[in-house]
Amino acid sequence: MTDVPPWRRPPRDHFPGVPAWSMPASVVPHERFEVSPLGPVVTREWAWGGADGSGIRVCVLDSGVDTSHPLVGELEASMDVVTGDGGEAAVVPVEPGDEAGHGTACASVIRAIAPAASLTSVRVLSSGSHGTGAALLTGLRWAIDEGFDVINMSLSTTKPEFRDALRELSDAAYFRRCVIVASAHNMPVRSYPWPFASVISVASHDGTDPMAYYYNPSPPVEFYARGVRVRVAWTGGREMLTTGNSFATPHIAGICALILSKHRSLTPFQLKSVLYLTAENVAGSAATENGGARVD
């Protein structure tokens, strides 16, 4: 159990004499583990300079991924959410594939930004762009239990009956240091899980630089990334230009993979702080002149 980081372990049993969830320091010795302190100046060079995503596992929760496309390459695993005879949903291994193209497109963006990151596909959408709430919850729960570092969710649901379950899973991911990067809906409607504070929410900007992103001080969307006329991989070995918050999201997921590959012990709130401090409109001229923003 000692090789499992504390945030991936089951909760401790309750100790008598202290409130629930507390630690009796006189009985339980302090456990030391790696931390990633933020320096006095957080720059893009500090954040991900020289990083390629090595050692980071990214889960693409989508329509599947076509590994035959040269812009995607190999996957760590390809999974599908299936429904059993009793109506229960389960995640099972399948041959890689993507009839819709959406998941392949997202995977190609992540691969372009973090080429050495390990990618796993979990199909929760059908051959079109639709899926069931049960499939979404099952796939997300599996990805959290598997301990992926980053989970790319270029999808959402407008159905309020799934809101509470998605919030619980998003919180569970946060405390297990599984970073969910979630796409805002393309229409001005409420959907989930992107508005939750425990995820990193993304919408689009119309610039052309894949590494340029902006912090949004007006909630609920937190960051804007490239999402207009993005060249992505598609089915049949094709490439195409496409627009949508779905394709802005993997830009941020890829940048998260870069940051985590260089600073492995960052917590989700530290990672979000690094994204904030290195955003184009926060670092401002410091991003190009001095390279970053101060942490005082």
Q: What are the tens digits of pLDDT across the range 228-254?
A: 999 999 999 999 999 999 999 999 999
Measure the CA–CA gap between 81 and 121, rounded to whole angstroms.
Answer: 11
According to the model, what pLDDT value does residue 286 have?
44
Q: Give tens-digit pLDDT for 114-159.
A: 999 999 999 999 766 688 889 999 999 999 999 999 999 999 999 9
What are the residue ranges of helices labelled H in the chain? 44-48, 102-113, 133-145, 163-175, 245-262, 268-277, 280-283, 285-288
Give the whole-angstrom CA distance, residue 93 versus residue 81: 9
Q: Over 90: is that where the pLDDT of 2 sits?
A: no
Q: How remote is the C-alpha of 214 from its chain's centroid?
A: 17
Confidence at residue 290, expressed as pLDDT on a 0 to 100 scale: 47
Under the banding of pLDDT at 50, 70 and 90, the label for residue 100 is: very high
Query: What is the Cα–Cα distance from 175 to 164, expressed in whole angstroms?
Result: 17
Residue 208 has pLDDT above 50, yes or no: yes
- SS3 string, 127-171, reads CCCCCCHHHHHHHHHHHHHCCCCEEEECCCECCHHHHHHHHHHHH
| pLDDT of 260 higher than 80 | yes
Distance between CA 65 and CA 55 in Å, rounded?
20
Q: What is the pLDDT of residue 296?
A: 47
Say if CB 266 and CB 276 are below 8 A apart.
no
Check residue 20 and give its pLDDT: 66
Q: What is the mean pLDDT of residues 96-114?
A: 96
What does the block give as tokens for 149? Answer: 């570092």
Q: Which of 25, 126, 117 is nearest to 82 (CA)?
A: 126
- Is 90 exceeded by the pLDDT of residue 291? no
Helix (H) or strand (E) holding 202: strand 200-205
pLDDT computed for residue 288 by the predictor: 41
Provide mean pLDDT across the span 58-87: 94
What is the per-residue pLDDT across 8-38, written as a single tens digit (0 to 9) for each? 777 777 777 777 666 676 666 666 666 667 7
> What is residue 1's predicted lDDT score, i.e. its pLDDT?
47
Q: Does residue 274 contact residue 287 with C-beta atoms inside 8 Å? A: no
Residue bearing tokens 């979990």: 122
**How would residue 271 be classed by pLDDT, with cut points 50, 70 and 90?**
very high
The CA distances from residue 203 to 159, 184, 228, 232, in Å, are 20, 6, 10, 17
